[in-house]
């Protein structure tokens, strides 16, 4: 982790192009008032693999991520243009139910943000609002979700304790379990490890590796080694534009664009 050169791990060597497109983004423009944060972004995210988005602070990668489950809607004075298709359907279409969309496209945030409730209630919250399960079914669902988030063994005896009693890394896995509980297809992760220590980071990365068997994962990260380690494809953002997108091995070892090369070799950013 300390080296500045980027080590490419075998995890990213899997063949590309054999996976179907899950999310297709076309001509996406996004404005905060007059400021254009995203400029004509085009991108295809393939299913059941990890797509990483890298770039310097303020380049629009988090904004882009939040465009994928319409979390930007809640910020006043913003405007979105272009198309984001989930399984072929434009999520910005007028008759799209945002509630249903966000159930399919979940989100994990930069800082662990558990609810001020017990561990159990944190995970049960999502299934409850969508009426997915109750009683013992709900208990099973919570257990299943926590197992998938690789947290069950650590918390099974303190399900009734406050979620704030957990460590930062456990809280973040709890937040992942909370998302998994509503049965998403896509999981968006906005710098999920930036507030965590190296060991917790490792655990989350291992977890992501597991999760990609079943879920489509998009991760925004500042940490290029992390992007190289976990992802199959990587997109490089700069000043609201997507400069280059391709297999992670290519992006980190043989990028086409000079700016990508400068960034991944640590010449700026």
Partner 1 sequence: MSLPTARGAALRHVRRRAVNGLMWGWGVVCVLAAVIPLGFVLYYVIAQGASGINLDFFTQLPKPVGEPGGGMANAIVGSLILVGLASLVGLPIGILGGIYLAEFGTNRFAWTVRFFADVLSGVPSIVIGIFIWAMVVVPTHTLSALAGGAALGVMMIPTVVRTTEELVRLVPVSLREASLSLGATHWRTVLKIVLVAAKGGIVTGVLLAVSRIAGEAAPLLLTAGSNQFWSTHINQPMPSLPVQIFTYAIQPYEDWQRQAWAAALVLVSLVFVLSVAARYVTRGRFRMVR
Q: Are 143 and 153 in contact (CB under 8 A)?
A: no
Tally the residues of the chain: 269
Single out the residue of 178, 203, 229, 259 in contact with partner 1 (rule: CB under 8 A). 178
Query: Do 6 and 228 form a contact (C-beta atoms < 8 A)?
Result: yes
Q: CA 154 from chain center: how many Å? A: 24
Give the bridge partners for 89, in sequence order. Answer: 86
Considering CB under 8 A, how many residues would be counted as binding partner 1?
A: 31
Closest approach of Cβ 117 to partner 1, in Å?
6
Span interacting with partner 1, options 41-49, 113-121, 142-150, 253-261, rule CB under 8 A: 113-121
Report the residue number, 31 or 115, with the smaller CB distance to partner 1: 115
Site track for partner 1 across 195-234, x = CB under 8 A = ----------------------------------------
How far is 19 from 7, CA to CA, in rounded Å? 25
How far, in Å, CA of 141 to CA of 132, rounded?
9
Q: Which of 67, 166, 175, 217 binds partner 1 (CB under 8 A)?
A: 175
Only one of the segments 30-38, 106-114, 198-206, 231-239 lies at the binding site for partner 1 (rule: CB under 8 A); that segment is 106-114
Which member of 116, 131, 135, 198 binds partner 1 (CB under 8 A)? 116
Q: Which stretch binds partner 1 (CB under 8 A): 1-9, 32-40, 43-51, 105-113?
A: 105-113
Interface residue with partner 1 among 117, 133, 138, 202 (CB under 8 A) is 117
In the complex, the smallest distance separating the C-beta of residue 269 from partner 1, rounded to whole angstroms, is 25
Residue with tokens 């091995």: 249
Q: 27-37 in b/e burial notation, b at 16+ Cβ within 10 A? A: ebbbeeeeebb
Question: In terms of CB distance, is 7 or 165 closer to partner 1?
Answer: 165
Q: Determine, following the binding rule CB under 8 A, whether residue 169 of this chain makes contact with partner 1.
A: no
Provide the mask over 1-40, with x wherever binding to partner 1 is found by CB under 8 A and - wherever it is not.
----------------------------------------
Phi and psi at residue 50, to the nearest 5°: -105, 125
Collapsed DSSP state (helix, strand, coil) of residue 197: coil
* Residues 6+ away with beta carbon under 8 Å from 45: 21, 22, 23, 24, 25, 51, 186, 216, 218, 233
Q: Which of residues 60-99 bind partner 1 (CB under 8 A)?
A: 69, 71, 74, 76, 98-99
Could you give the C-alpha distances from 72 to 57, 77, 85, 232, in angstroms and in order? Answer: 18, 10, 16, 26
Residue numbers at the binding site for partner 1 (CB under 8 A): 69, 71, 74, 76, 98-103, 106-107, 109, 111, 113-118, 125-126, 129-130, 162-164, 175, 178-179, 182
């Amino acid at each position: 982790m300390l080296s500045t050169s980027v080590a490419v791990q075998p995890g990213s060597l899997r063949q590309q192009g054999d996976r179907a497109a899950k999310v297709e983004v076309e001509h996406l423009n996004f404005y905060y008032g007059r400021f254009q944060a995203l400029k004509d972004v085009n991108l295809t995210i393939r299913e059941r693999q990890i797509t990483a988005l890298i770039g310097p602070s303020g380049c629009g990668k988090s904004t882009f991520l939040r465009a994928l489950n319409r979390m930007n809607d809640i910020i006043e004075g913003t405007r979105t243009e272009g198309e984001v298709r989930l399984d072929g359907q434009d999520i910005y279409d007028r008759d799209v139910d945002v509630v249903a969309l966000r159930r399919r496209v979940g989100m994990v945030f930069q800082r662990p943000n558990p609810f001020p409730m017990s561990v159990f209630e944190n995970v049960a919250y999502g299934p409850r609002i969508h009426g997915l399960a109750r009683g013992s079914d709900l208990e099973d669902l919570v257990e299943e979700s926590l197992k998938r988030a690789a947290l069950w063994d650590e918390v099974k005896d303190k399900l009734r304790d406050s979620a704030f009693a957990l460590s930062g890394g456990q809280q973040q896995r709890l937040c992942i379990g909370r998302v998994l509980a509503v049965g998403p297809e896509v999981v968006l992760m906005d710098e999920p490890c930036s507030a965590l220590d190296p060991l917790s980071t490792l655990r989350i990365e291992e977890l992501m590796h597991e999760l990609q068997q079943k879920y489509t994962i998009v991760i925004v990260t500042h940490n290029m080694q992390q992007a190289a380690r976990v992802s199959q494809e990587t997109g490089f953002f700069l000043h609201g534009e997507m400069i280059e997108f391709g297999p992670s091995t290519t992006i980190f070892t043989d990028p086409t664009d000079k700016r990508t090369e400068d960034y991944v070799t640590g010449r700026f950013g």
